[in-house]
Amino acid sequence: MEGNVSTTVAIYIDQACDLLSALATAEVLNRAATAWAAVRAAVVVPSMKAAVVVCLAMSVMLVVEKLSMALVALYVKVFGRTPERIYKWAPLSQDVELGSLAYPLVLVQIPMFNEREVYQMSIGAVCMLEWPYDRLIIQVLDDSTDLKIRELVQEECEKWSKKRRNIHYISRDNRNGYKAGALKEAMDLDYVKKCDYVAIFDADHEPPSDFLMRTIPFLIHNPEIGLVQARWKFENANECVMTRIQEMSLNYHFKVEQQSGSSTMAFFGFNGTAGIWRILAISEAEGWKERTTVEDMDLAVRATLQGWKFVYIGDLKVKSELPSNYKAYRYQQHRWACGPANLFKKMTTEIIMAKKVPFVKKFFLLYNFFLARRILSHNVTFFFYCIIIPASSFFPEVVIPKWGVFYIPIAITLLNSIGTPRSLHLIIIWIFFESVMSLHRCKAVFIGLFDAGRVNEWVVTEKAGNASKTIQTSTAAKKCPNKFWKRFHFLELGMGVLLLISACHNCIFRTNLYFIFIFPLSLSFLTMGSGFVGTYTAQQSS
């Protein structure tokens, strides 16, 4: 009897505890909901609205910048404003009395690092340039850490030396300063002081035989010109969808950005290869510096601050190779986004204080060249289209005008596509691919601005070689990860999951139809995060 009473009391006590616990939990939840509502109304929603305004302003700035450059490029195209018509240019010819001395002494540099797949091609192309052999000095700057590759490159140099080419094999026992360090040390050699001009070609670039004949006359007849830049031609653009997308972006860079800069301000960023410098311009700009991973852009900015002009030749094409491996492409894009941001931070004061350039050129450098193209463009692409618009699905109070969500992105997309008409059918894929890459570029921009983490990281872009062949023979395609999990990119996967949640919420609870954009965006992040992009996937599925 007593046992039954005890059991009954225990049951009542347990039930009372459960009730109290439930009431306490409900109270906690109610308080949490009330606190969230207050924070949401006072902080989150106003912050979201402010972010929308900032992103819309950046979008307008970006579309105005792109439209102005496109109009300049169109003007140049329609009215045939080629460099030969703007600057004095006359072909070089033999002088019976002077012979080869009528040609200036030219230095050609080929920096390389473990370039097993492409070293023969690049050295061979340079050695076949149309120029008197006794007026051409070739430097192969080999920083390779693989001793076998060093031997192969040195043997290739010796082979061409036996064919009467003045070729020098130069190696270092360190990689101090990376490419900038190698170029800087090579320029200090005594015989370089006899040269007037220096052409630079990366190991995966193959100049046409008439490169010097077409570029050097600009430098000879126009003493104010410090740099002549040629365009890149992508031999492996058809290797996979990823290379087609890269071709679209880079064609826009060359056909619009470089062309407009050359035509308006006689300035653009040196591409680090496929260009020829007046050595005096390099000297006056204090030579190569190792302070950022974009030593080419650094030199170009410093040279233009000394008053030198740059010329871009759009119809002179140098064969090159696009990275077809997604991981290699990510490393490249990190360097291309981080370096300019870091350089912007370091050179802002120097640009403002420069005395040899007018105010309009300073404004062009700070606003157009750096801020709009290399800071705002990456930020607006990621924060607005990958963060703010998807997040607005959870906040009905946040209203984004249609012109900001649809019309401006459409205008920017169309302007970017004009450089590659043959790939217009891939424009949708380009949009989502670039949106995913904006995650890495935006992160790299902040790393550069704050001198953080990987600010000075330099990973040489992997080359496949024989780029014009099919992907079945591509070296990059055969390099499969050793472990299954290595193919996954968890940052992209995480973003993909968050965007998928946002898309589902928008589809169910909102009427603005943003899910039409957010769903494929989330799938793009998930697809690229799972490694289904580049030649590795093509090889696996073939």
- Catalytic machinery residues: 143, 296
Report the run of H or E that residue 233 belongs to, with start and end: strand 225-234
Question: Which CA distances in Å does 105 have to 100, 238, 401, 470?
Answer: 10, 38, 60, 40
Amino acid at 236: N
**Dist. CA 13–CA 17, nearest whole Å:** 6
Structure tokens at 469: 């062949």
Structure tokens at 241: 């969808």
**Dist. CA 176–CA 4, nearest whole Å:** 85
**Dist. CA 445–CA 451, nearest whole Å:** 10
**Dist. CA 26–CA 15, nearest whole Å:** 16
**Dist. CA 271–CA 424, nearest whole Å:** 25
Contacts of 263 (CB under 8 A, 6+ apart): 72, 73, 75, 76, 81, 86
**Continuous H helices in 375-426:** 377-379, 389-391, 402, 408-417
Q: What is the dihedral of CA 249, 251, 253, 256, to 10 degrees?
A: -130
**Dist. CA 179–CA 293, nearest whole Å:** 9
**Dist. CA 311–CA 278, nearest whole Å:** 12
Using DSSP's 3-state secondary structure scheme, residue 22 falls into helix
